[in-house]
Homo-oligomer: A and B are copies of this chain.
Amino acid sequence: MRQRLSVEAYVAGVLAADRVVLSRAITLVESQLPADQPLAQEVLERVLPHAGRSLRLGITGVPGVGKSTFIEAFGKYLTGQGKRLAVLTVDPSSQRSGGSILGDKTRMEELAHDPRAYIRPSAAGTSLGGVARRTREAMLLCEAAGFEIILVETVGVGQSETVVRGMVDFFLLLMLAGAGDELQGIKRGIMEMADAVAITKADGPLAAEARRAQAEYQNALHLFPPAASGWVPQVLTCSALERTGLAELWHLIQKYHQSTLQTGYFEQNRRAQALDWMHDYIRQALEERFRRHPEVLRQLPATEKAVQQGHELPLAAARRLLALFLK
């Protein structure tokens, strides 16, 4: 086990935006060691009053759509505007292949060396949905370190988009135009969760296609039910390669920010998210406890099979397993 710092050292380092300490603090809150929990909790509690004052952006898109390249370009645009930006990547696939993170080192090279930016690739989560277990806490630490924009990236696997959507203020879907590729691999329900869709790689021969797709999607999103925020999702085009469309996107995000601040939705959503966050933890912890119970662990595989094959009633099976756990 790596040596831990004192609570004071973590807190002072984070508040001073010391990247080394910030990284170590995130590692601490991500730790699954029971011994680390009280320290992690104390650090989080101490930084809490300094957290919350950022704009939280979620970005999703299928593998290869250009998320990393986009974040490099958009991130540089934002730091160029004088903003301080933290990027948290939540990659459920990185558990299997280390390639992704290595690739990102090259794809985000400029941003990685930008003094106004901080990039934290998180290994895959073990929690439900494959999302890094402590991305939300990492976000608080970054906010306490003074980052004004937190960008949470996720690839569309499992439930990760839903989980990320539940921790950000604005959710952006990156898509491709051309030859039906638009839809390749995007899960149902994601489009209706997006506050904006950016058709990326809108350069060279794909530029015209991108504009056509933009019009089509803008039309389609118009037919969707309105969001609770009252915001009508917008579709833009951009190119991370040519660095076009980035100012327009930032303008749009700011417009969303201002309008939801005005209506009170921004604050209301943050409060609802905090509450969901608590209930999610409780649900997860209860389920983990249940699943780790030795007798449940032993009987679950056969029970799941029996239920799937229709040999046992779901309700009866649930009761039987619950009885093992609760007695």
Interface set of A (CB-CB < 8 Å, partner B): 41, 44-45, 48, 52, 136-137, 140, 182-183, 185-193, 216-217, 219-220, 223-228, 271-272, 274-275, 277-279, 281-283, 285-287, 289-290, 303-304, 307-310, 313-319, 321-322, 326
Contacts and interface: CB of A to CB of B under 8 A. Distances in A.
Contacts of A183: 223-226
A278 B314 contact: yes
B290 A286 contact: yes
A274 B225 contact: no
Number of copies: 2
Contact of A220 (B190, B223, B303): B223
Contact of A286 (B226, B275, B281, B287): B287
Contacts of A314: 136, 274-275, 277-278, 281
A325 to B, nearest CB: 8
Contacts of A219: 219-220
A141 to B, nearest CB: 12
A203 to B, nearest CB: 22
14 contacts: A41-B316, A137-B315, A183-B223, A183-B225, A185-B225, A188-B192, A274-B308, A275-B304, A278-B314, A278-B318, A281-B318, A282-B287, A282-B322, A283-B283
Contacts of A226: 183
Nearest to A322: B285
A155 to B, nearest CB: 15
A308 B275 contact: yes
In the complex, the 4 A-B pairs of residues with the closest C-beta atoms, listed nearest first: A281-B318, A277-B314, A220-B220, A278-B314
A286 B217 CA distance: 42
